[in-house]
Amino acid sequence: MTVTKVFWISLVLITTLAPCIAMGAGVENERPNVTTPRPAIVDELKTLCGPKPALVDRDGVALPLHDESLLKTMLKKADVTKKKVLENGITKPLRLDLDYEGRHFRGVFRHVHSTKERMKLQGELHRFYQDSYRLEIAAYEVSKQLGVGHVPPVVSRGFEGKDGSLQLWVENALSEQKRAKDRTPFPEDFDHETNRQHMLAFDLLIYNFDRHGGNYLYDANWYVWYIDHSRSFKVDPRLPGVEALQRVERTFWNKLKTVKKRDLTKALRAHLNPMQLAAFHKRRLNLISYIETLIEERGAENVLYDCP
């Protein structure tokens, strides 16, 4: 059984059996009302599909997603006013309360950096396995370079003498795990299949074998956020389970084909080792080849889709 098939079987089990709540970059019990979320001032931001994201500070004011430079400065320079260990996380990340020039927001600080030559997980042997905060940053860089969206901004930052990553906390968030447990219905206009396909394309590219209902979230606008990528970027050029990918967003497809290898290398080389980077470039080419074959066999109109 392939890794991706295991993933989708696990996702079904999560939905039906609703196991315990997992830690993420947001917290379910702070969502005031998931069926009628509180209004939030949201910056103008072009997104691939669906609602605009609702990344807000502690006062409900939209964070400057349109200004990456400012957002990174806020994450890097904000004063830490409080910390809390997130016990549900395997690697015990910290949730930090932050203050930048009077703006109060939160972030997740991860400092895990573990490398093993051989590691068996979910019945699969992983060679040159790594669980690292650096991969959180790499996943964000890939999403940015290819216009994927959906990954909360993250920067490299030290805290209490440890190197790590600091990622924006998604306020008022609901994990898929919690949504399924509580049987919270999706809004009528929520396109579950389109969101599932887009997330799958991203996970295939970065070889994320650990996607489950606890590590993707819905914010107050039902925008989907992908979190917890510290085990991604396996040293493997293959795309196990790629046959599940049947539809691709056109803008993502165009960027996947046309992005310069040197630009991706420049964005990723500080966060990936040479083997991870080489495998990533090969997966990109393999994914392009698969989608081209899909288009040839089924027609572009049946594979590519445009967002309204």
Q: How many CA atoms lie within 13 A of 102 on its CB side?
A: 1
pLDDT at 107 exceeding the cut of 50? yes
Of the listed ranges 78-92, 129-143, 233-247, the least confidently predicted one is 78-92
Only one residue has tokens 């040479």, namely: 274
- Mean pLDDT (whole number) for 194-222: 95
- What's the pLDDT tens digit per position in 254-285? 999 999 999 999 999 999 999 999 999 999 99
Per-residue pLDDT, 82: 98
Q: Which residue has the higher pLDDT, 133 or 43?
A: 133
pLDDT at 6 exceeding the cut of 90? no
Per-residue pLDDT, 49: 62
Only one residue has tokens 């003498």, namely: 161
What distance in Å separates the CA atoms of residue 241 and residue 11, rounded to the nearest whole number? 14
Per-residue pLDDT, 91: 74
Token digits of residue 200: 């799958």
Q: Are strands 248-249 and 224-226 parallel, antiparallel or unpaired?
A: unpaired
Per-residue pLDDT, 297: 97
With CA atoms as reference, report the closest residue to 213 among 190, 196, 188: 196
Runs of H (alpha helix) within the chain: 3-17, 68-77, 133-145, 176-182, 192-206, 250-258, 261-268, 274-298, 300-303
Runs of H (alpha helix) within 54-99: 68-77
- Mean pLDDT (whole number) for 58-80: 95
Burial tier of 55 (Cβ tally within 10 Å: 0-12, 13-18, 19+): buried
- What's the pLDDT tens digit per position in 13-67? 433 333 333 344 554 334 433 333 333 333 333 344 668 899 999 999 999 999 9
Using DSSP, state whether 279 is helix, strand or coil: helix
Per-residue pLDDT, 123: 75
pTM of the model: 0.84
Burial tier of 188 (Cβ tally within 10 Å: 0-12, 13-18, 19+): exposed
Mean pLDDT of the chain: 86
With CA atoms as reference, report the closest residue to 58 among 26, 12, 92: 26
pLDDT at 128 exceeding the cut of 90? no
241: left (phi over 0), alpha (psi -120 to 50) or beta: left
Per-residue pLDDT, 26: 52
Q: Which residue has the higher pLDDT, 50 or 142?
A: 142
Strands of 94-100's sheet in order across? 79-85, 94-100, 103-110, 162-168, 154-159
Per-residue pLDDT, 55: 92
Of the listed ranges 1-10, 98-107, 111-120, 186-195, the least confidently predicted one is 1-10
Residue type, 34: V
pLDDT at 89 exceeding the cut of 90? no
pLDDT at 117 exceeding the cut of 90? no
Per-residue pLDDT, 25: 59
- What's the pLDDT tens digit per position in 216-235? 999 999 999 999 999 999 99
With CA atoms as reference, report the closest residue to 234 among 85, 119, 106, 110: 119
Domain boundaries, the chain: 3-305
Report the percent of the chain where pLDDT is more than 90.
Answer: 73
Q: Tell me the torsion sign for CA atoms 58, 224, 282, 292.
A: negative
